[in-house]
């Protein structure tokens, strides 16, 4: 039973007992006159209604606080419960808002550490794939070539096929290493990295293009990495799940001085599918640099990912604040 009904029924019980006492031993007339009983019953009804209305008004701030607490999502920061009601309820709401702000800050800090550790692990795996597995497969290719050159004609064709299979595996490992550690992002910057990324996702069934406004200034390294990873995740989701034939990546300045990243496809959209690990990861990355992330349906169907981040030195300041 809710607090509202417990208080209402308790007050109603007190009022009913009071009226019964007035109708019984504590009455002004014996026997009870019809007019007196009618007045007392009418007074009881009026008091119960007034009690219900006043309780509903008095406990409304608690109801709003409950709904705000139920809707809290640390990956979507900024939501706060309005501070209203009597002193105790207003103090409770203010305390909740303070606690929520502290949780958001702690979540941003912990997410930053986790993502930094993740990037370090990706770089380690990329180096091992490139330096160890890649070199091993290169040596295997050379051995196969040497064997094919000296082998009899009957087995030479099989060795050539083994060479091609090994060469394909080597290219796949190099592609995975590039995705784990985007060297082009470190060497040539975000613009070239996004163009190279869309080129990797372009196939016979999917056309991926990058549209970058000329003259955009460089952003903080951590901000560029977040933009690259979110574009990469958006393209990956499009290629795997959207059933799209075209996807576009836009990087452009916004009217308020920020920089906007837009990934839009012509697939069947997100629909009512719950958010998975990929989208949650994008929200954590956006939270890390203080960016606004919106994921929903595009104007012409399909899915749309919008990320707006402060440009230039502001982007760097946002990153420092997130740390």
How confident is the model over 164-220, as pLDDT tens digits?
888 888 888 877 776 777 767 777 788 888 888 888 888 888 888 899 888 888 888
DSSP E strand boundaries for 203-270: 207-212, 246-253, 258-265
Which residues, in sequence order, are CB contacts of 223 under 8 Å at separation 6+?
289, 309, 315, 316, 318, 319
* 21-41 residue pLDDT tens: 666 665 556 676 777 778 778
* 128-176 residue pLDDT tens: 776 777 788 888 888 888 788 787 877 878 888 888 888 888 888 877 7
Task: Answer whether 322's CB lies under 8 Å from 290's CB.
Answer: yes
Domain 184-323, CATH: 3.30.565.10
Task: Give dist(CA 153, CA 162) in Å, integer.
Answer: 15
Global pTM? Answer: 0.58
Structure tokens at 186: 């470190």
The two beta strands, 246-253 and 258-265, are antiparallel
Boundaries of CATH 3.30.565.10 in the chain?
184-323
Structure tokens at 40: 């007392």
């Amino acid at each position: 039973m809710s607090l509202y009904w417990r208080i209402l029924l308790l007050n109603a019980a007190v009022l009913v007992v009071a009226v019964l006492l007035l109708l019984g031993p504590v009455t002004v007339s014996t026997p009870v006159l019809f007019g007196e009983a009618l007045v007392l019953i009418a007074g009881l009804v009026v008091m119960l209604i007034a009690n219900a209305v006043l309780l509903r008004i008095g406990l409304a701030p608690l109801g709003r606080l409950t709904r705000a607490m139920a809707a809290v999502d640390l990956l979507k920061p900024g939501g706060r419960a309005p501070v209203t009601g009597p002193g105790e309820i207003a103090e409770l709401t203010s305390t909740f808002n303070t606690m929520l702000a502290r949780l958001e800050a702690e979540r941003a800090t912990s997410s930053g550490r986790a993502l930094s550790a993740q990037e370090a692990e990706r770089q380690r795996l990329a180096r091992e794939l490139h330096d160890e597995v890649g070199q091993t497969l290169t040596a295997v290719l050379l051995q196969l070539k040497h064997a094919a050159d000296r082998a009899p004609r009957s087995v030479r064709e099989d060795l050539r096929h083994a060479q091609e299979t090994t060469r394909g595996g080597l290219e796949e490992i190099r592609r995975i290493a590039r995705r784990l550690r985007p060297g082009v992002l470190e060497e040539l910057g975000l613009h070239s990295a996004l163009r190279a990324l869309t080129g990797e996702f372009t196939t016979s069934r999917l056309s991926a293009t990058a549209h970058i406004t000329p003259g955009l200034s460089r952003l903080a390294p951590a901000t560029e990495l977040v933009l690259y990873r979110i574009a990469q995740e958006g393209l990956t989701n499009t290629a795997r799940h959207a059933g799209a034939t075209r996807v576009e990546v836009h990087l452009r300045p916004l009217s308020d001085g920020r920089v906007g990243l837009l990934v839009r496809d012509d697939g069947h959209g997100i629909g009512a599918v719950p958010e998975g690990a990929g989208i949650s990861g994008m929200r954590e990355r956006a939270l890390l640099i203080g960016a606004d992330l919106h994921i929903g349906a595009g104007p012409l169907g399909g899915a749309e990912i919008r990320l707006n981040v402060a440009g230039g030195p502001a982007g760097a300041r946002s990153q420092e604040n997130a740390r």
